[in-house]
Amino acid sequence: MRSLFNRPELGAACGVVAIWSFFSLYAGGSGFLSWAGSATYLEIASELGILAAAVSLLMIAGEFDLSVGSMIAASGMTISLFCERLGWSIWGGIAVAMALSLGVGFANGLVVVRTRLPSFIVTLGSLFILSGGTIGMTRLVTGRTQVGGLHQALHYGSAEAIFASRLGGFSVSVLWWMGITVLATWVLLRTRFGNWIFGAGGAPDAARNLGVPVPKVKIALFMTTSFCACLVATFQAVKFTGADVLRGTGKELEAILAAVLGGTLLTGGHGSVVGAAFGALIFGMVQQGIVFAGVDSDWYKVFLGAMLIVAVLVNTYVRGRMVEARR
């Protein structure tokens, strides 16, 4: 019973049930409970959830990545430009974007572990560099800020089947999200690397003294968040058959919000990928539920912000109990 109460994702699980019940009550009749309605919020949740899974791992290891939002723009634009301008196969474009994202993640991680600067600052820098670089490069090459026509790219059909098809009305990204959440949870809780993630975030000096390669763990996780951003960009580029330099703006903060809603500690050493998935689900349900409830969608952020603060208060209380419990 105690161990159940101490699980980081418990609060978020209760949140999911509460939010779902709330909107079922107030917006159930207007489409929240419908097949299509569920598919909409699950699609929103799935893309954020993929980011949040990686971001929560990184946060458990004690670091932030603010560059994931602009990485989405950069990756989407890379795919589109390679296909539209150079006539590459879409798979070639995706491969280049993935290599780019891994490179950016590696650079983020390397700068953080070498300089020991806060990752908040380092990745804030890469946020601006990537976002500025994407706009600059796109305008230089095309003179516009949007590039479309991806559906004419070579092998678009196969990419669409994998990244943008629908199964029974649901976006295939939901499957990806579930797969990635299960995989990340398994890595975190059942592998040696997962234990090192906890160590790197909870007591980095101690972990290093015990032989945990903390810098490598962190660099790998920065590469993972960046790669997941690229994956989300791929979903969007294929789905919208093009890219926009502003796509992904603000996603870095939404992913942190989802992770924190899910019980991940801002200072590292504690958290859950399943919790982050619940956090993303809450995000999707609120964003879409408010529309169904007939409230202007401009207001959903107010609701989310308030939830975030409540979630952090609850989590802090539970953790306090967990560590102080016996003295």
With binding defined as CB under 8 A, does residue 152 bind another protein? no
Our CB check for another protein shows the closer of 156 and 198 to be 198
* Residue 106 CB neighbour total at 10 angstroms: 15
283 near 97, Cβ under 8 Å?
Answer: no
State the minimum distance, in angstroms, from the CB of residue 200 to another protein: 9
The Cα–Cα gap between 157 and 233 comes to 17
With binding defined as CB under 8 A, does residue 3 bind another protein? yes
**Angle, vertex CA 308, rays to CA 321 and CA 265, nearest 5:** 45
Candidates 63-71, 125-133, 157-165, 207-215; binding stretch for another protein (CB under 8 A): 207-215
Residue 128 CA: distances (Å) to CA of 92, 132, 249 = 26, 6, 11
Determine phi and psi for 246, rounding to 5 degrees. -95, 0
With binding defined as CB under 8 A, does residue 216 bind another protein? no
Q: Token digits for 111? A: 């700068």
| H-assigned helices in the chain | 2-6, 10-27, 35-60, 68-86, 90-115, 119-142, 156-163, 173-190, 192-202, 204-209, 214-239, 251-261, 273-292, 300-324
State the minimum distance, in angstroms, from the CB of residue 46 to another protein: 24
Separation of CA 149 from chain center: 26
Site string for another protein, 6-45 (x = CB under 8 A): x---------------------------------------
State the minimum distance, in angstroms, from the CB of residue 218 to another protein: 15
Q: Identify the bridge partners of residue 166 per DSSP, sorted by sequence position.
A: 171
Q: Mind giving me the DSSP string for 181-234? A: HHHHHHHHHHSHHHHHHHHHHH-HHHHHHTT--HHHHHHHHHHHHHHHHHHHHH
* Member of 210, 253, 302, 306 binding another protein (CB under 8 A): 210
With binding defined as CB under 8 A, does residue 195 bind another protein? yes
* Member of 7, 151, 301, 319 binding another protein (CB under 8 A): 319
* Member of 7, 155, 208, 216 binding another protein (CB under 8 A): 208
With binding defined as CB under 8 A, does residue 166 bind another protein? no
Q: Identify the bridge partners of residue 198 per DSSP, sorted by sequence position.
A: none
* Member of 64, 163, 177, 196 binding another protein (CB under 8 A): 196
First to last CA, the chain: 20
Candidates 63-71, 115-123, 156-164, 199-207; binding stretch for another protein (CB under 8 A): 199-207
With binding defined as CB under 8 A, does residue 324 bind another protein? yes
* Member of 45, 159, 212, 221 binding another protein (CB under 8 A): 212
Site string for another protein, 252-281 (x = CB under 8 A): -------------x---xx-----------
E strands within the chain?
146-147, 166-167, 170-171, 243-244
Our CB check for another protein shows the closer of 246 and 312 to be 312
Tokens 């208060």 belong to which residue?
313
Supply the DSSP symbol for 29.
I
Our CB check for another protein shows the closer of 83 and 214 to be 214
Candidates 95-103, 112-120, 122-130, 319-327; binding stretch for another protein (CB under 8 A): 319-327
Our CB check for another protein shows the closer of 183 and 313 to be 183
49 near 276, Cβ under 8 Å?
Answer: yes
Which residues contact another protein by CB under 8 A? 3, 6, 186, 190-192, 194-196, 198-199, 201-203, 205-212, 265, 269-270, 319, 322-327
